Structure formats: structure tokens, C-alpha cells
């Protein structure tokens, strides 16, 4: 399994630790780097926190349709990285993610976004057959392909996971086995071991927790 860089790992641990020391422990942490901005309100300086967010993107899904961040407007979604010929963790990950898919089916405000890291092989037609073999219908669970470098960049810099070509790795690619939970503001709210049944159960629980956050706003 691919590993998170130490920088991102420590950043995530720090965020979770800070949250657990706070008053509102029912809220999920917001992961990733953050910045601050100062604005003036009624003559007083107010410091705002600027959180890491997933930027816009442009890929193509298993139906041959263009997919952008607009497709996930006002949606909670789970992102991951894989390739259809993966000989190691991908089959296990997809078995786990299928459980999530079956639980969220029909919920219009929740989606799944799986990015291939082998776009040369994983064309829309290949992805469509892959989705069909998994029993996925419609586009609530999207499998996307696109520019190789754009996929690697958004994986490592935005979703904070490992994704890339590696001739020494089984199948020729290395990627994290993480499922990444993203909220409606495109902030990363959780990371889960996609090969572990208990971690997948926590993901499903945290999706419900995130839904409650929005209900209580």
C-alpha cells in the first residue's frame, strides 16, 4: 500500500489532536494546510481561517461525460485513486467502497469519485465495463480518467494522497489505499484505510455525522 508523506501524516494527526481538545468533538476535523486572513469589521480586526479546499478539475467519466467540481456542488463525496489492472489493493478497496455505495444509493447529496492513475489504459469504455462488473449503475459513483499529470497532481497536492507511476511497484503504479471524505465546501474531513473493514465502517458513520453537521447549521 502507498503511504502518506510524513508531512501530511503529521498535519492530519495535528488537526485531529487539536479538534479532540476542543469543545465540539461531534464535528469532524478539517484536514490539510490552512492560512489566515485579516479583515476589519466595525473598526476591529477579525482573523478568518482559510481552509485547504479541493480546486476545480476536469476529467471524463465512464459514460464519456465531462466531470468538474460543479458535478459535486452541494454534495458530500468520497474520493479514491486506483487502476483497473491493479494486482494488489484495488480489488479489496473496491469491495469496501461497494459497501459505501450500497448504503448511499439514492441519496442525491452524496457521491463517490474514483480516479484512475492509468489513464492510457483506463479509457471511459474500460471504466464503464469495470463499473458494470462491480454492479454500479448510473453516475452516483463516478470513475474518471483524464490527463495523467493532472490526476497525479490533484491526488498528491489536493487530496493529500500518493498517486503516480512507479516501475518498481506491482502493476507499474503506486497509490494510497485511502478513501478521502470531502464536504460540501470541498474541504477534506477524513481519511480512511480502504483495505480495512473497520475503517470503512467508520467512514460510513462519519458520512452520517457530516450530514448531521449540515442539518444542524
Residue 80 lies in a domain: yes
CB 48 within 8 A of CB 36: yes
**For residues 65-90, average pLDDT:** 97
Residue 2 lies in a domain: no
The confidence score (pLDDT) of residue 217 equals 78
Higher per-residue confidence, 194 vs 48:
194
Give how far Cα 38 sits from Cα of 28, 31, 49, Å: 25, 21, 9
The confidence score (pLDDT) of residue 4 equals 39
**For residues 66-87, average pLDDT:** 97
Calpha distance 85→32 (Å, rounded): 30
CATH of the domain at 95: 3.40.30.10
Residue 96 lies in a domain: yes
Residue 27 lies in a domain: no
Model's pTM, two decimal places? 0.85
Residue 89 lies in a domain: yes
Split at pLDDT 50, 70, 90, the class of 166 is confident
Quick: pLDDT tens for 133-161.
999 999 999 999 999 999 999 999 999 99
Split at pLDDT 50, 70, 90, the class of 8 is very low
Other C-beta atoms within 10 Å of 69: how many? 13
Higher per-residue confidence, 18 vs 147:
147
**For residues 7-35, average pLDDT:** 58
Q: What is the mean pLDDT of the chain?
A: 88
Nearest Cα residue to 160 out of 184, 189, 194, 198: 189
Higher per-residue confidence, 7 vs 134:
134
Residue 116 lies in a domain: yes
Split at pLDDT 50, 70, 90, the class of 25 is low
CB 130 within 8 A of CB 84: yes
Split at pLDDT 50, 70, 90, the class of 21 is very low
- Domain residue limits at 180: 53-215
Higher per-residue confidence, 35 vs 65:
65
Query: What's the structural domain count of the chain?
Result: 1
pLDDT at 82 exceeding the cut of 80: yes
3-state secondary structure of 195: coil
Amino acid at each position: 500500500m502507498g503511504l502518506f508523506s510524513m508531512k501530511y501524516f503529521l498535519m492530519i494527526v495535528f488537526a485531529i489532536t487539536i479538534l479532540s481538545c476542543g469543545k465540539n468533538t461531534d464535528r469532524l476535523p478539517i484536514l490539510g494546510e490552512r492560512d489566515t486572513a485579516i479583515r476589519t469589521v466595525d473598526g476591529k480586526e477579525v482573523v478568518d481561517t482559510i481552509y485547504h479546499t479541493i480546486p476545480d478539475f476536469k476529467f471524463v467519466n465512464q459514460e464519456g461525460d465531462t466531470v468538474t467540481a460543479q458535478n459535486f456542488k452541494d454534495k458530500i463525496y468520497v474520493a479514491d485513486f486506483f487502476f483497473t489492472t491493479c494486482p494488489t489493493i484495488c480489488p479489496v478497496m473496491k469491495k469496501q467502497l461497494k459497501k459505501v455505495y450500497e448504503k448511499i444509493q439514492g441519496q442525491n447529496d452524496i457521491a463517490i469519485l474514483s480516479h484512475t492513475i492509468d489513464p492510457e489504459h483506463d479509457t471511459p469504455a474500460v471504466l464503464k465495463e469495470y463499473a458494470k462488473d462491480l454492479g454500479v449503475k448510473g453516475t452516483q459513483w463516478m470513475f474518471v480518467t483524464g490527463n495523467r499529470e493532472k490526476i497525479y497532481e490533484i491526488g498528491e497536492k489536493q487530496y493529500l494522497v500518493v498517486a503516480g507511476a512507479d516501475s518498481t511497484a506491482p502493476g507499474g503504479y503506486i497509490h494510497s489505499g485511502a478513501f478521502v471524505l470531502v464536504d460540501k465546501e470541498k474541504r477534506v474531513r477524513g481519511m480512511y484505510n480502504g483495505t480495512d473493514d473497520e475503517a470503512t465502517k467508520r467512514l460510513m458513520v462519519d458520512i452520517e455525522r457530516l450530514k448531521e453537521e449540515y442539518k444542524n447549521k
